[in-house]
Every structure is written in C-alpha cells, then in structure tokens.
Amino acid sequence: MSETTTTNTTASATTTEALRERALKLDAADPLADRRELFALDDGVYLDGNSLGALPAHVPARVQDVLTRQWGELRIRSWEESGWWTAPERIGDRIAPLVGAAAGQIVVGDSTSVNVFKAVVAAARIAGEGRDEILVDATTFPTDGYIAASAARLTGHRIVPVAPADVPAALGPRAAVVLLNQVDYRSGRLHDLPGLTAAVHAAGAVAVWDLCHSAGALPVGLDEHGVDLAVGCTYKYLNGGPGSPAYLYVAERHQAAFDSPLPGWNSHADPFGMTPDYAPADGSARGRVGTPDIVSMLTLEAALDAWDGVEVDAVRAKSLALTDFFLECVEAYVPAGRVTSVTPAAHAERGSQVALRCDDAESVMRRLIERGVVGDLRRPDVLRFGFTPLYVGFADAERAARVLAEVLAETAGA
C-alpha cells in the first residue's frame, strides 16, 4: 500500500479563507444537501458514520408506533396485520437496490457475524467435495477471521490467509470459498470486487463478500458482477441504529442449493407445522433462523426512508469529492510530517473514509472529540474519518481538517 506524507506547514489565513469559501460553494451546489435535514445532528462534525450512522429524525415516532400500537394494542395480531412476518424479506428488498441486487435475494436478520457463518459454511457446501481451502482476507475485521476459522473446523476445511491483491495467485484446484471485504475497515482501501469475483469463479470457487464498509457508500453491483453470497451490517452508512440487524444476500442461482448451518423454524417451508424434520423454505427465506428482532428491524425499515429517491451513483460522486477535499485541507492545514494518509489516493481504490496514521493518535482523537469533531481510532496509530454523503458536507470536511491541524500544532513535541 502506498502512503503519502503531508508536506505543507500550517496554512496561512488566506489559504484558510479560500478553502472555507470553496466549501460553502461546494455545499451550495450539492444535490444531496437537503438530505442533511432528515437527520438528528448537533453543531459538531460527525465523521464516525462508518461505525454508527446518525439517527434519521423521523425514526423515533415510527418506533413509538411499533411499541404502543403494533405491540401495545395489536400484540400478536401484528405478525399479520402489521406485516411483522414478512419484514425480513420486505426490508431486504429495500436494501437490494443499494447493493445492486434484484428483489428476492436478500433477507434481513441476525448479526453480521452470524450471517458470515451461514454464508461461509453454505458456500463450502456449494463448492462441493474435493475442495478444502477457505481463503480469507488476511487484513479482515477480526471477527470475520474468527468465524471463518470456526466454519473451517466444522466443515473439515483449512484456512488460507491471503491479501486481497494476492487472491488470484493463491487460487488453486483446492479452493472452495473466498471471503473478502470490499472495503478495508482500517485504511478505507476499496478492493476490486468485479475482478476478484471473476478470478474466484475462474478457479471454480465461491465468492463471499463482506459489504459492511461499502453498502450505502458506493455502488456494489452484486448481480452485475456475479457475486455468489454477501453479508453486511445496517448500522453504518444505512443508519439503522446500534445493533440493527444485518443482511444476507444469496444469488438466485444458488438459493436451491443454499444449505444453512443454522436451520430454524423461521426458515422452514412450513414454519407452523412444527414437524421434527427440517424442510427449507424457497428463496432468500432460507437465510432466516429464529424469531426476528422486530423492534430493531422495523427501526431499520423506518431509517431506510432517508434513501428514498437517492441514487447510489450520486452518493459515490459526493463521497469521492468529500474525501478529496478533506485530504486537500489536511495537506494545507496540518503541520508537516505529523500525519500520513494510508487511504489510497486513486478513486478506484478508495471507499468513503480517510485513515491517517499519527504517532499520538489516541490523544489526538480524544482532543478532536472534545472540540466537536467526532471520528474514531484504530489502535495503535490510525485516526479514521468516515464521510457519510447523506449528511456530511464540505464545510464539515474543512472544519475537521482545520481542528485536526490545531490539535496537532498544540501537541507538537508534547
């Protein structure tokens, strides 16, 4: 991974004023600017939507209806009258356009970790006998690695850690499954989903993608690029709320062969038959397990209203413009040598966050948050700033870089 170290000294007043004016002009021309009004925000700068998205302002009233009317008054009748039973597939169909999938291929429920387990085990079973390797992104979020290792023990496979760029060379006749992240959670590097998926298929293996840091930030193209299985969370760029349910994508061509390691009554062909033998339901419902978390699920459904009328291509365009502008401001403002960008400069390799390496990152992030600029930290030395195009503006990016420079200048030599 190439790294670019900032070289400019602290910016002059003229430079600062010019960047502030540009930010205002960019915000005025932003076609997504009106989306900001849909969210409950304070006067700070919230750049941690890649960990927890902001609250859409209309959601509390919708949740209140779920609690007081649907649960409080209708009670058990809400499974039919309020559509609780069909929520996992219904909400999956609302997420589908955001990740480039046709309806009927996404089911919402459980956590990302649980869905990774379902996907990896099912993928190993789809790949069939004679293939005993599960290739795993060596830089993956730790839980994905833990889950893949458990799946390997269960299925008699072995884990092969590999850097995403090295996947094509590592693929061989024993490869069964390849589990990759579309965007690296530390650096924000965007991996080549189309190219890597094609390489996996050429080797006869099954591709499983983790979309936690890409869904809602950039076009994914699951159907277009022939992805087999995918999982993702909904509490980051999709703003579903803390711990909101994750989702599982099973390409239509694999649904009949999808053999979940967690069969439950909710995924049974006749769930109320209560028979001792398991018969899987048709379609994406095979990804269900037990009774869904209705309150959290319907909170997510309400939050997705913020996406009505939004094109993902417009989100991607703003994301790239925001991160470009933030990096420009960092280069102009930050004292020389204090931070190093580990986020790729090339648009084709960048997600929707900027990661800066900083020797005293923990102290710096604490001070930033005290001053109203909220990012987060990945130990030992990475400051992460997530840019959520639905509610982050260019003035936010300029202010964040300026405050970062002030903090770094104050802590120089400390």
Per the CB < 8 A criterion, the answer to whether 216 and 246 are in contact is no
| Gap between the Cα atoms of 189 and 334, Å rounded | 22
Residue type, 178: V
> CB neighbours of 174 closer than 8 A, spacing ≥ 6?
130, 131, 132, 133
Residue 222, both tokens = 């699951």
The rounded radius of gyration (Å) of the Cα atoms in the chain is: 22
Nearest-CA neighbor of 338 among 7, 53, 67, 51?
7
In sequence order, the β-bridge partners of residue 280 are: 268
**Active site residue: 35, 236, 288, 367, which one?**
236
3-class secondary structure, 329? helix
**Active site residue: 235, 247, 333, 394, which one?**
235
| Gap between the Cα atoms of 375 and 122, Å rounded | 36
3-class secondary structure, 350? strand
| Gap between the Cα atoms of 268 and 104, Å rounded | 17
What are the φ/ψ torsions at residue 106 (nearest 5 degrees)? -125, 135
Nearest-CA neighbor of 172 among 139, 204, 129?
204
**Active site residue: 39, 46, 117, 141, which one?**
141
Is 313 marked active-site? Answer: no
Residue 76, both tokens = 């058990």
Is 318 marked active-site? Answer: no
Per the CB < 8 A criterion, the answer to whether 403 and 368 are in contact is yes
Is 25 marked active-site? Answer: no
| Gap between the Cα atoms of 218 and 352, Å rounded | 8
Three-class HEC string of 219-267: CCCCCCCCCCEEEECCCCCCCCCCCCCCEEEECHHHHHHCCCCCCCHHH
**Active site residue: 137, 144, 210, 228, which one?**
210
Is 117 marked active-site? Answer: no
Do strands 353-357 and 340-341 pair parallel, antiparallel, or not at all (unpaired)?
A: antiparallel
Nearest-CA neighbor of 332 among 4, 1, 12, 5?
12
**Active site residue: 384, 385, 394, 396, which one?**
384
Angle between helices 394-411 and 361-370 (to 10 degrees): 120
- Which residues are catalytic, by number? 141, 210, 235-236, 384
